[in-house]
């Protein structure tokens, strides 16, 4: 059979040979046609198996190509992400430590903080926060993209700082009892 012939051509030849063989009365011719039909069927099966294998290879090659393309894109994104310098922190540890020291000083400066109620201690904490957080609040207001965002950042920081100041006041009150 010619390699240019497709499976449909082979199927057609098998059908023709089968029709001819069914009409044959000569046993030798019938056997030769039957052998040729079997040979065509085997070739057809091999051809179909080869086509399936080639198709599977094509699918695998496309998948591999897609993986390589995605990897290349991801690698370039990673390279871009690595090459972008990081922005410095809005507030560095030096400022945080300075504010913490300021809170300790301001709360310790009030002698009534050691013997007052929690409500009075909360007022002292709020005052200490207002005094010690001016620079941080100004930085938040200046660095935020909008005024509203800056105010929200400053308010969140103020609440957390008041909580920290209250904890410092309670810590100092506990130490004075000992």
Give backbone dihedrals phi and psi of 115, rounded to 5 degrees, phi first. Answer: -130, 25
Residues of the chain with pLDDT under 70: 1-4, 76-89, 111-116, 178
Burial class from Cβ neighbours inside 10 Å (0-12, 13-18, 19+) for residue 140 reads: buried
100-121 pLDDT tens trace: 888 888 888 876 656 667 778 8
Does this model's pTM top 0.95? no
136-163 pLDDT tens trace: 888 888 888 888 888 888 888 888 888 8
How much of the chain exceeds pLDDT 90, in percent? 3
């Amino acid at each position: 059979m010619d390699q240019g012939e497709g499976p449909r051509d082979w199927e057609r030849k098998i059908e023709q040979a089968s029709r001819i063989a069914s009409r044959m009365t000569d046993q030798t011719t019938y056997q030769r046609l039957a052998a040729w039909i079997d040979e065509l069927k085997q070739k057809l099966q091999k051809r179909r198996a080869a086509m399936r294998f080639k198709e599977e290879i094509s699918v695998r090659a496309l998948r591999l190509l897609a993986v390589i393309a995605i990897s290349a894109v991801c690698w370039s994104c990673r390279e871009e992400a690595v090459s972008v310098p990081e922005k410095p922190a809005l507030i560095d540890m030096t400022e945080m430590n300075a504010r913490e020291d300021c809170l300790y000083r301001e709360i310790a400066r009030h002698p009534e903080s050691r013997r007052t109620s929690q409500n009075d201690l909360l007022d002292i904490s709020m005052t200490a926060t207002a005094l010690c957080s001016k620079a941080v609040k100004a930085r938040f207001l200046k660095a935020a993209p909008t005024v509203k965002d800056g105010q929200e950042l400053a308010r969140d920081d103020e609440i957390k700082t008041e909580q920290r100041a209250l904890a410092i006041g309670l810590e100092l009150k506990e130490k004075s009892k000992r």
